[in-house]
Amino acid sequence: MIRAQVIALFAHRNPKLRIPTLSHKQYEVLQDICSILSILNQAQELLSAGKTPTLALALPVYEALIHALDDCALKFPELAHAIIQGKLKLEGYVAKTRELPVYALAMVVKPCLRFKWMYNNWSPSQYQRARVIVKEAMLSVRQRLHREATLIPLNTVQARNAASAQGCGYLRLLQISAEVDRASNPVGNNSCQSHEDTLLAAPSIPLSNRELLIRHMADVDAELFRWEQFEWLGEDSMGSVDLVEFWRTHKHQFPLLYWVSMDVLPVHASAVSSEQAFSSGKLTR
C-alpha cells in the first residue's frame, strides 16, 4: 500500500511523464474483479488437476460455480451485469453437458458420488435418464463378455484335443497288460474324455436372444444393486479417491462397472493437462 502511495505521489509531481495511475475507487473495483476471477480460477484448477481423473467432478463443480456466481452478483451489484452474462454462458454449457452420457458414467463409478449427487441435484426425469445410460453401458459390457466367452479359438480346441489324446494313449499303455488276458471280456468304458471336453463337444442348447437379453439384464440389475448398497468407508470428499486403485481392487466384485470405469476414467474434464503435454513436447506453435 505504501508503494502504491509513493508511485501515485511521484506521478502527481511529474505530470509531464504522463504516468497512468488508478484512483482509490478504481483500485477497489479491480480488487473486486480479482475476487470474482479467483473463484473461476479455483474451479479451473480443480478440473485441470494432473495424474488423476477429474471428469466426475465436472458437473458438481459447474453447479457449485453457478451458485457462487449468484452470490457474487448480490455482493457486487455494480458488476452484476458481467457476472450474470458469465453465469448464463455457463448454464448453457452445463445444459448441453448433462446430455452427454460420459459425465453420468464418470460420476456413477466414483464411490463417494454414485447416483447420490444426481438424485439430489437433477430433476426426476434427468435422474432416470442417467440410470438408463448406466444400465445400457453395463449391458453392453455384459454382452461383450458373453461373446468373448463363447468364442473359443480353434487352435485352443486343437491343443486340448491333442493333450486329451496323449493322455488316453498313456492310460492305454498302463492298462495294456491287463487287457490282453481279458480280450474276450473287455472293460466296458474306455473313454477318458474330460468334463470340459464333453461340454465343448456337446454344448447345452443355447438360449434364444430374448432369453440371453433377460439374463444379461438381470446380471446388470444385480450388480448395480450391489454397487448402490456398497458401503464406502473412505472420505466423502469428491477429490479424495484414487479411482484407478479403487477399481483395480474391486475389479472382480463389480466386473461390469470395472470395464465401464476403464472407458471413462481416461477422459479429462479440461484441456489444460493436454495443452501442457503438447507444450512440453514442443508441439504447439
176 inside domain: no
Per-residue CA distances from 244 to 71, 202, 227, 247, 250 (Å): 36, 41, 17, 6, 10
- d(C-alpha 215, C-alpha 208), whole Å: 11
Provide CB contacts within 8 A for 52, sequence distance 6+. 239, 242, 243
Q: Which domain holds residue 36?
A: 2-134+207-280
Residue 32 lies in a domain: yes
Residue 275 domain-assigned? yes
Provide the number of structural domains found in the chain: 1
pLDDT (tens place) for every residue of the chain, 285 residues total? 677 778 778 887 888 888 887 778 888 999 999 999 999 999 988 888 766 677 888 899 999 999 999 999 999 999 999 999 999 999 999 999 888 999 999 999 999 899 999 999 999 999 999 999 999 999 999 999 988 888 755 455 455 555 555 555 544 544 554 455 544 454 444 444 443 343 233 346 777 889 989 999 999 999 999 999 998 877 655 556 788 899 999 999 999 999 999 999 888 776 555 555 545 555 555
Q: 180-211 burial by CB neighbour count: b if 16+ within 10 A, else e? A: eeeeeeeeeeeeeeeeebeeeeeeeeeeeeee
The answer as to whether 79 is a domain residue is: yes
**pTM beyond 0.75:** no
Residue 212 lies in a domain: yes
Residue 36 in any domain: the answer is yes
Q: Is residue 55 part of a domain?
A: yes
